[in-house]
Structure 1
Amino acid sequence: MAERVPDGRSRRPATSCLLCRKRKIRCNHETPCSNCLRARNENCVYESNNQPMPISRARLSQVQTAPAPRPQESVPLASASSASGSTLLNHASRSLEASSTAASTPPSQSSVLDAESMRLKLRIRDLEDQLSQLASRPVDSSHENPNSNIQTLNSTIGGTFHVHCEGSSLGQQPAIARSVTHKTRLFGQSHWAVNGVLLIRDVFESIDAHSRPETTKAWSGIERCKSLARFIKPQRTFSWLSSSTPNLPPKEISDALVDCYLRSTESIHRILHIPTFHRDYEAVWISNMAAADRAFVIQLSLVLAIGAVTYDEHFSLRTSATQWVCAARSWLSEPKSKSQLDIQTLQIGLLFLVAQERLGLVEDSTWISVGALLRKAIYMGLHRDPAFLPKRTTLAAEMRRRLWNTILEMTLQSSLTSGGPPFISLDDFDTAPPGNFDDDQIMTEDPVPQPPNSFTQVSIAIAFRETFPQRLAVVKFLNDLASPVAYDKTLQLDARLRTAYKSLGRTLLAYSRSTTVAPAPSPYEIRMADFIMHRYLLSLHAPYFGASFSETVYAFSRKVVVESSLKIWRAGYPVTINNSSLVPEANELQRLITCSSGFYPAGAIHAAFLIAIDLRMQLKEDESIEPAPLRPDLLSVIYESKQWCLQVIKAGETSVKGYLLMSIITTQIEGLMHGLREGEITSRMIKAVEEVEEKCMPMLTAMASEYQVPRNEFGDAPQPMDLAKDNETMGDFGCMPSDTLFDFANTEPMAWMFNDNPSMGMPSLW
């Protein structure tokens, strides 16, 4: 009977659980109730004086006719739903405990207990149904992947970085490195350090185990080189940042620089209309420089800066080229009266990105800057073919196709180098490849394209565009988050990429074998095609290179990595007959690799590094009494690359880390070739670290002498404290080390391996 309150009203006993009563929502009076299940509340509690809710006759009949669940029946659980499944099982166990407690109640309540028992059995079956539904759902890999793990590597020379690994679809071990987290950046699989850091992990650990900063001068020598480099780099740009008017060189030098640009860059990536550029270029020298169109002067300064990279072997015009790029940066940052959305501004933007990357003056990752330029081009409608837009002249239509084609190439190359996703697909544009016209042709009305077998000024760009879908698929597979670690997919992409590469080779060979007097591809353009295509092949198979040392299933990838690396290196440094010098055009790629930064030198050092790792592994795998002889063509690469790193420093690079890495690996290979013990090899590697200062400090001191580096009475090299004092006058560009410079616990000397924002001439890995 309901309890009476003082005012005469009857108060019904509360039948809802405490949580539903508190929230004032309808409760279904089950244990646990539906609201608690939805809120994942494991404590669905009723008042102790509440009687169990009787089950309806219709529901009871369903329970009596339903088969009872088997106590030992196992329910499959999805890996991604383990948390939800365990919660439901906890509810079921508590329900069973409640039923066992209820079994000890007096016989007068037997009818109610029978109904409660049926209700609990029904509830258990409902929970099992829910678990089955969870198990049938697809696993959401973005939240949890049971095959993924993170390896944290920490060493004095290597610093701290985290390698994200995933198991192969073939179930092979070891796991495949998928990305690397370093400080605030995440690098995808195509970044060379993602796979490189694991391959030299033993070198880091061995050196750490046998050396300490307080017992060897190796680390102090490296830090002195770094300290001097930190002084030189800002000095090169600091004095030019306030000027947006470039100081152009004499016409004779300008002519040579323009020719270098047209050979090294415009022949591969079409940006300018050459006759129009030459017309405006001559007008600059005829008229007063101050009266010339300012936008064109900026465009010209960027052309000269890019051409200066391959002007000579030592990049003698680096300072002037830096001034021209900084002038363009100042001009671009000036406020404009209206939005600059035209072809000339887009050309300047492309030239600026190329010049920044070649000179290593990128403020942020090139991949980020190219992404902004891609969106600007889309905003201008370049992703739509001119045939679907209002009618334009042939010149305007073809220039739009050429610029869009170049933006696609830069997007893909920056993605490959930085390890970032390309963020472009074939469905995002319908712009056709450029027409096979020479530049003079598109200045006339209704020109007719030349036959496909006729070589024109845009033939190289058209040939590369034919391979764009295959190369895009490779970069997406490597860097997109949703791409699986699937070796069978790698082999499929390899087959398609090789087919595209063979087609490209046949096209260029047909141009070269033409019996007519028509122009043909230059040696530089042919070698550039080899270099670029093998970079994609190398990046595709590099993730399985380390695993191939222990798993024969990846032996094909090991072979591809080694052969592609050799072809990349020989494209830049071909073997000459009788040591004869190359003609200037054939030497263009070698100068580009030595003096520039970004895509091309990064490919060269990556190739040399992987060849060295393979040679080292061959020596470790050899079980004969005498070490087996190594392939001379591969062995020569590691010695050439070591000397190349010194040439790069002579050309103006301030970082010594490339030479440091190749010196250590070369020393280890030589020790293995001579059958030395591990301890002796480590001692030699530490000695190689100490010799880096002896080789590099004189060259860095010569560079710094141009900027009045403060000296001390004990030697030519500036002291860290002196440089720190100079830094006080450098404003926002100060980057000198403090007293913590030699605190090895707080520094990460190998951060250059993950830096795709180079400050000077070496590739993006420096």
Structure 2
Amino acid sequence: MESQRKRPRPVVSCLRCREKKLKCDRVAPCQNCVKGGYEAECTYHQQPDAVDPHSQPKPKRAKIAEAIEPGTLWMGPSIGIIEDLQQRVLKLESLHAVGPHANNYGPIRDASVQNSWPRPEISQSSSSYLGTLVVKGSRSRYHGQNDRITLLNQFAEAKTFINQSLNNPSLVGLAKEVQFLQNKSQTPNESPESLSGIESFPELQSLLGSLPSKTVCDQLLLVYTQNLEKNLRILHIPSFLACYNAFWATSDHETSFLSMFVPLLTVVLSISVITETAPPSPEYSPSWDYLEQHAVGAVHAWMQKLPRKPRTDISTLQVRSLLLLARQLRQVSLDELWKESGSLVRSAMVMGLHVNLSQSKSLSPFQAECRRRLWVSIVEMDLQTAIAAGMPVMTPALDLSPLTPSNLNDVDFDESTTELPLSRPMDEETDSLAQITLAQSLALRIRTMNLVQHTNPEESIEERLRHGQQIEESLQMIPPPLKLYDSDNSDPAFVLNRVILDVHIRRPLLSLYRPVLASLPPDDPSFLEIQRASLDSSIAILAYQDTFDPNIFDLDIPNINSYWNIFHTFCQNDIILAALTVCEYLKFINQQTSIHSSFNEFSFQNNNNQQNQNNTINPYPTNHTLSHNKASLTRLVENTIDSLTRRIGKKGTNMKDILLLSVVLQSVRARGPTEQKDRRMSHGAKKALSACRQNLLSAANESIFAFHFNDPNPLSNYESPDVVLPPNVSAQLNQPSPSMPDLLQQSASLAAEFDTFQSDLFTFDDGSFMWNI
């Protein structure tokens, strides 16, 4: 009976459906590959007389051959020597083709790796890169497409005004005061490079000696399990808690197993302390200060001293992953985070986390599942860091589907599990549902960012539209338990994780469409769709600010300020870019209104009919934008500026972001003459700087300097701008900015430091900003 079943059957399904054991509709590409975003990988087994399923032949992409078992003889088709040599040369040329990650991996691996980066022909007129290169003497720095320098080029009037602001003594003096106060309000973190170079064992003893008491650890560990391990799954919580209990149950912490647990516990506590505002009692304040300021640097220094073998341990990779998250929460520069995430990806690949080991017996089901969770988390962090830094994704183009974790709770499996239980349905909330939801669109989002980095916006409109529509479908496919507005749960940890999940999916969409909007003519048929999608995502991101704003949120919820700070830490760049996208739409509305207002009603109607026939645009093209008129969008950006201003004393808040938004908003609001626009931009800049100074002086008066000022409201003479500035307001704005005599008179050294303080808020070189170079 068994021999009768082994009859030869033709392969009619695509190779991916056959591998996944899915029902294939046998078209090219099939429906399963379209849903999964693998259209380019949908290929069929070629029989000698088979007909190509594609209507038009397309060149197949090179695919690296899988490793062959030693001692296995592979019998290829019978071909001549010349034909064999020609095929070998073609294969070598495809394998050695120049690509962004050509040297990141070797020729043999189990997961299918495809050379899927687009290589369009680059015209001579196209730019070699999307960002801006700034050179200052022997130093140079590349700013990606999401940096202020590159974005400012889209607003010519605002750029000219800011570049000329050095000639405005009132603005320069006000900016000097703001930057001086901001520098005084922030405590610098300890740099790992300042730690003394000692061996790994003494450093481990130092970490052990600095570990807080069990009371503090218990509290912070509870904070971690309640707030983290949702979108990113780095630890298996029951196993970690078992190690934690074993650690405190024994007095001998110098054994190999327990000693390696100390750095992992330390970095977990250093993450938790960010979301917890105060220690359980004043006697634990030194431990709190250590975790906030020194623990991350100490763990990083310990990591640098590890020998070769411990570096390949899974716990070491977990420490590095958590260390990257801890450094992000501490506002480490984006270029440093991008370099660290790329190094983390390469370290994970060295350990083989990118390899599909589902059929391997060398790893237990528990180990394999934990490795899949950790790998997907590392890739997600690499993608998000690359987007924020405006740099390429370091993860190569892999087939992530066999490496996606199962939808299981942590209690569903442990070290003794011999076979993983079946994955739960996607409409059932589990400990891993958020990560799996992100993982389903992870390959699509990586391909999207590769498209952004390696193609010209003007030459890839259709492909960008296709990727953007697939990302929007991913947003619609978020399971009901993870949708923010479908739940009555107001717990800030629940809300924060749902918001971050949504923003993570939207980021590639905005990066995909933003350069297109800047270069695409409004009469292009694709303009409306791109503008609608960009505006929708921008408004959604800006609306999330109210979710954690202490002025709006329920004050009875503890630590709401911490969640507000964490939201801005993770989404600061998204907020700025979303606000600028709204400003770009306001600019578009003004331009279209100016065009239409130049005609009388009769000619306008005739022209409008003609425009409809020519597929040209309307100032309010969709029903969605009709619900968000100019006034509501202007208020949305103003609220964003106000929110950023109230956080000016927090680490990571940049005055240049506030100044940029304030000037750009005023530049796009009015349609009057240039002189009136200049007055509005000047007023907006002064208003923003004055509001920042007021917040910084209030913070200095309350907690930093403990000084008292005679004028508690230095903004009493400033009013909100109208479309036409009254003469008395214009006269007030031309007066010298109020100084800080009450503050500086309290300390001669402080006054001397202010006199020598150099402000760089308006520094420019060759017409370009020198943003923190």
Specify the alignment match of 1:491 in structure 2.
Answer: 465
- Indicate whether 1:449 and 2:422 are aligned: yes
Contact 2:267-2:296 within 8 A present in 1 as well = yes
- Indicate whether 1:182 and 2:134 are aligned: yes
Specify the alignment match of 2:433 in structure 1.
Answer: 459
Contact 1:664-1:689 within 8 A present in 2 as well = no
Residue 401 of structure 1: how far off its partner (Å): 0.9
- Indicate whether 1:145 and 2:145 are aligned: no
- Indicate whether 1:543 and 2:542 are aligned: no
| Structure 1 gap segments, 5+ residues each | 1-139, 150-163, 166-177, 725-736, 756-766
Residue 535 of structure 1: how far off its partner (Å): 2.0
Distance change in 2, residues 1:642/1:389 (3 Å) = same
Amino acid of the residue matched to residue 186 of structure 1? Answer: Y
Distance across 1 between alignment mates of 2:692 and 2:746: 13
Mapping for residues 228-627 of structure 1, pairs under 5 Å: 229=182, 235-237=188-190, 241-242=194-195, 245=206, 247-249=210-212, 251=214, 253-285=216-248, 293-312=258-277, 320-336=291-307, 338-362=309-333, 364-427=335-398, 431-443=402-414, 444-445=416-417, 446-453=419-426, 454-480=428-454, 485-505=459-479, 508=482, 522-547=494-519, 550-553=522-525, 554-574=527-547, 581=554, 591=564, 593-594=566-567, 596=569, 599-623=570-594
Q: SS of the residue aligned with 1:573?
A: helix
Q: SS of the residue aligned with 1:182?
A: strand
Q: State the identity %.
A: 20
Q: Choose 581-590 or 568-577, whichever is displaced more.
A: 581-590
Distance across 2 between alignment mates of 1:555 and 1:641: 25
Amino acid of the residue matched to residue 424 of structure 1? Answer: T
Residue 570 of structure 1: how far off its partner (Å): 2.0
Specify the alignment match of 2:23 in structure 1.
Answer: none
Specify the alignment match of 2:113 in structure 1.
Answer: none
Distance across 1 between alignment mates of 2:313 and 2:766: 46
Q: Choose 410-419 or 241-250, whichever is displaced more.
A: 241-250
Contact 1:527-1:571 within 8 A present in 2 as well = yes
Specify the alignment match of 2:155 in structure 1.
Answer: 200
Distance change in 2, residues 1:256/1:375 (3 Å) = same
Q: SS of the residue aligned with 2:132?
A: strand
Q: CA RMSD in A?
A: 4.6
Residue 636 of structure 1: how far off its partner (Å): 3.3
CA deviation string 1:531-574 (max 9, x = no partner): 22222222221112334675454232222211110111223434
Distance change in 2, residues 1:340/1:701 (3 Å) = same
Distance across 2 between alignment mates of 1:717 and 1:751: 31
Aligned residues: 561
Distance across 1 between alignment mates of 2:392 and 2:328: 19
CA deviation string 1:68-90 (max 9, x = no partner): xxxxxxxxxxxxxxxxxxxxxxx
Contact 2:538-2:582 within 8 A present in 1 as well = yes
Q: SS of the residue aligned with 2:648?
A: helix
Q: SS of the residue aligned with 2:469?
A: helix
- Indicate whether 1:222 and 2:195 are aligned: no
Distance change in 2, residues 1:429/1:221 (3 Å) = same
CA deviation string 1:323-343 (max 9, x = no partner): 221121221122537442111
Distance change in 2, residues 1:490/1:589 (3 Å) = farther
Q: Choose 457-466 or 743-752, whichever is displaced more.
A: 743-752
Q: SS of the residue aligned with 2:243?
A: helix
Amino acid of the residue matched to residue 124 of structure 2? Answer: P
- Indicate whether 1:678 and 2:677 are aligned: yes
Residue 229 of structure 1: how far off its partner (Å): 5.0
Distance across 1 between alignment mates of 2:630 and 2:586: 9
Q: SS of the residue aligned with 2:133?
A: strand
Amino acid of the residue matched to residue 374 of structure 1? Answer: V
Residue 433 of structure 1: how far off its partner (Å): 0.9
Q: SS of the residue aligned with 2:131?
A: strand
Distance across 1 between alignment mates of 2:393 and 2:242: 36
Contact 2:229-2:235 within 8 A present in 1 as well = yes
Amino acid of the residue matched to residue 322 of structure 1? Answer: Q
Distance across 2 between alignment mates of 1:335 and 1:723: 44
Distance across 1 between alignment mates of 2:551 and 2:699: 33
Distance change in 2, residues 1:499/1:746 (3 Å) = closer
Residue 493 of structure 1: how far off its partner (Å): 1.0
Amino acid of the residue matched to residue 220 of structure 1? Answer: G
Residue 356 of structure 1: how far off its partner (Å): 0.8
Specify the alignment match of 1:9 in structure 2.
Answer: none
CA deviation string 1:651-699 (max 9, x = no partner): 4446322232233344556666999922432441353365256335426
Distance across 2 between alignment mates of 1:740 and 1:362: 20
Give the TM-score normalised by the residue count of structure 1: 0.63
Q: SS of the residue aligned with 1:564?
A: helix
CA deviation string 1:733-760 (max 9, x = no partner): xxxx9879799466999544x87xxxxx
Q: SS of the residue aligned with 2:544?
A: helix
Contact 2:270-2:295 within 8 A present in 1 as well = yes
CA deviation string 1:261-317 (max 9, x = no partner): 334431110001101222233445555596583432222222222223333599x97
Amino acid of the residue matched to residue 382 of structure 2? Answer: T
Distance change in 2, residues 1:683/1:230 (3 Å) = closer
Distance across 2 between alignment mates of 1:489 and 1:142: 12
Contact 2:270-2:326 within 8 A present in 1 as well = yes
Distance across 1 between alignment mates of 2:483 and 2:459: 36
Contact 2:144-2:150 within 8 A present in 1 as well = no
Amino acid of the residue matched to residue 239 of structure 2? Answer: T
Specify the alignment match of 1:760 in structure 2.
Answer: none
Residue 718 of structure 1: how far off its partner (Å): 6.7
Q: Choose 363-372 or 537-546, whichever is displaced more.
A: 363-372
Distance change in 2, residues 1:468/1:652 (3 Å) = closer
Distance change in 2, residues 1:418/1:353 (3 Å) = same
Specify the alignment match of 2:694 in structure 1.
Answer: 695
Residue 511 of structure 1: how far off its partner (Å): 13
CA deviation string 1:86-123 (max 9, x = no partner): xxxxxxxxxxxxxxxxxxxxxxxxxxxxxxxxxxxxxx
Mapping for residues 82-101 of structure 1, pairs under 5 Å: none
Contact 1:207-1:682 within 8 A present in 2 as well = no
Distance change in 2, residues 1:587/1:748 (3 Å) = farther
Distance across 1 between alignment mates of 2:592 and 2:484: 44
Q: SS of the residue aligned with 1:546?
A: helix
Q: SS of the residue aligned with 2:422?
A: coil
CA deviation string 1:146-188 (max 9, x = no partner): 2225xxxxxxxxxxxxxx68xxxxxxxxxxxx33223433344
